[in-house]
Amino acid sequence: MAAAKLLQQEGYKNVINISDGFEGNPATGEGWKRSNLPCK
């Protein structure tokens, strides 16, 4: 979250924080890719 806040302070407008991570935890099935969200 700190990186996203820093980018906003630097003027970036479209900033997203992925709280469960991109790859996620294999044991829990969390994460951007494991949720079948777009990753192009």
Q: Quote the pLDDT of residue 14.
A: 93
Q: Quote the pLDDT of residue 9.
A: 97
Residue 4, domain extent: 1-40
pLDDT in tens, 4-14: 999 999 999 99
Q: Quote the pLDDT of residue 40.
A: 77
Under a CB-based contact definition with an 8 Å cutoff, are residues 22 and 31 in contact?
yes
Name the stretches of the chain with pLDDT < 50.
Answer: none
Q: Quote the pLDDT of residue 7.
A: 96
- How far apart, in whole angstroms, are the C-alpha atoms of residue 35 and residue 9? 29
Q: How many domains does the chain have?
A: 1
| Entry pTM | 0.53
